């Protein structure tokens, strides 16, 4: 995900030395495919028609000295305010993979909406589980969040998996179902003590009735 870009969700693939080919040419979403797209004008600069540059962004001069720290590669030319995208430029496009349109769907608005919805689901899940920001780094807390987000899949794996697996024998399937019942409907035990003020004054039938009433 390029910094300061508009890509919040969805896969972004980097430059590939030998992009996958189809019968009609380079596979859609690869850098080779982007290079074949028509060029359009963006505020006086030529960019691929499949670009994902925000309307309020600007492009830095193509001959600027800015490079990606530690990589020696030219950085993406996209500017948001005074901040330049920190991702390296993909090939000779002058843009990073995300802003050039490499990989993923070419609908930044839909991608932003999808990313925001995902963040909202994570926030709601954390609040439901009582996990604060300081506890979110704990492995068990992170696992609880993932389990809650994929609760339907976990339930299907626990209940439907053994029933639908043809490799399991009848005995193995029964054991799996008993384990599922223990996990979903665990047996509960309770201990109850009763102190009688005058046990000597109670006959056996009276004690039996008292026991039955206590057991509900």
Q: pLDDT per residue over 43-61, tens digit each?
A: 888 899 888 888 889 998 8
Distance between CA atoms of residues 105 and 101, nearest Å: 8
pLDDT at 209: 81
* Residues facing residue 88 across a β-bridge: 75
DSSP class of residue 67? Answer: B
Q: pLDDT at residue 151 above 80? A: yes
Q: Are residues 1 and 89 in the same domain?
A: yes
pLDDT band at 108 (very low <50, low <70, confident <90, very high): low
Q: Are residues 138 and 95 in the same domain?
A: no
As a whole number, mean pLDDT of residues 131-144 equals 69
Distance between CA atoms of residues 20 and 28, nearest Å: 9
pLDDT band at 73 (very low <50, low <70, confident <90, very high): low
Question: How do strand 78-80 and strand 58-59 relate by DSSP bridges?
Answer: antiparallel
Cβ 78 vs Cβ 62: under 8 Å: no
As a whole number, mean pLDDT of residues 76-86 equals 87
Q: Are residues 9 and 99 in the same domain?
A: yes
pLDDT: which is higher, 87 or 137? 87
Cβ 100 vs Cβ 51: under 8 Å: yes
Q: pLDDT at residue 64 above 80? A: no
As a whole number, mean pLDDT of residues 90-97 equals 84
Q: Which residue has the tokens 């604060």?
A: 132
- What's the domain range around 162? 111-184
Q: Evaluate whether residue 90 is within a structural domain.
A: yes
Q: Are residues 9 and 89 in the same domain?
A: yes
Distance between CA atoms of residues 109 and 107, nearest Å: 6
Task: Give the chain's mean pLDDT.
Answer: 75
Q: Evaluate whether residue 84 is within a structural domain.
A: yes
**How many domains does the chain divide into?**
2
Q: Evaluate whether residue 198 is within a structural domain.
A: no
pLDDT at 13: 38
Residue 43 tokens read as 């505020």
Q: Are residues 148 and 54 in the same domain?
A: no
pLDDT at 183: 82
Distance between CA atoms of residues 62 and 97, nearest Å: 16
CA angle 59, 85, 98 (to 5 degrees): 90
Largest CA distance in the chain: 104
pLDDT at 186: 81
Q: Evaluate whether residue 216 is within a structural domain.
A: no
Q: Are residues 27 and 78 in the same domain?
A: yes
Q: Are residues 95 and 137 in the same domain?
A: no
**Cα dihedral: 42, 37, 87, 119 (round 10):** 90
Q: Report DSSP letters for 143-196, one per residue.
A: HHHHHHHTHHHHHIIIIIHHHH-TTS-HHHHHHHHHHHHHHHS-----------
Q: Are residues 38 and 117 in the same domain?
A: no
Q: Are residues 32 and 46 in the same domain?
A: yes
Q: pLDDT at residue 4 above 60? A: no
Residue 145 tokens read as 């969040």
pLDDT at 21: 53
Distance between CA atoms of residues 77 and 87, nearest Å: 9
Give the count of beta carbons closer than 10 Å to the beta carbon of residue 103: 20
Distance between CA atoms of residues 168 and 161, nearest Å: 10
């Amino acid at each position: 995900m390029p910094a300061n870009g508009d890509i919040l969700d969805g896969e972004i693939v980097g430059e590939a030395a030998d992009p996958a080919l189809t019968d009609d040419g380079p596979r859609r979403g690869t850098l080779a495919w982007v290079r074949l797209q028509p060029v359009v004008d963006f505020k006086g600069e030529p960019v691929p028609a499949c670009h994902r540059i925000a309307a309020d962004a600007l492009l830095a001069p193509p001959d600027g000295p800015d490079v990606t720290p530690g990589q020696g590669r030219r950085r993406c030319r996209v500017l948001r305010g005074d901040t330049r995208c920190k991702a390296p430029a993909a090939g000779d496009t002058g843009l990073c993979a995300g802003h050039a349109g490499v990989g993923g769907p070419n609908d930044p608005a839909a991608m932003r909406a999808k990313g925001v919805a995902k963040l909202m689901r994570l926030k709601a899940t954390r609040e439901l589980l009582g996990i604060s920001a300081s506890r979110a780094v704990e492995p068990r807390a992170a696992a609880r969040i993932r389990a809650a987000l994929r609760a339907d899949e976990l339930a299907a794996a626990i209940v439907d998996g053994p029933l639908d697996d043809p490799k399991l024998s009848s005995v193995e399937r029964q054991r799996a179902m008993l384990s599922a019942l223990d996990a979903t409907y665990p047996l509960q035990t309770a201990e109850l003590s009763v102190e009688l003020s005058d046990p000597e004054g109670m006959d056996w039938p009276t004690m039996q009735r008292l026991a039955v009433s206590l057991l509900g």
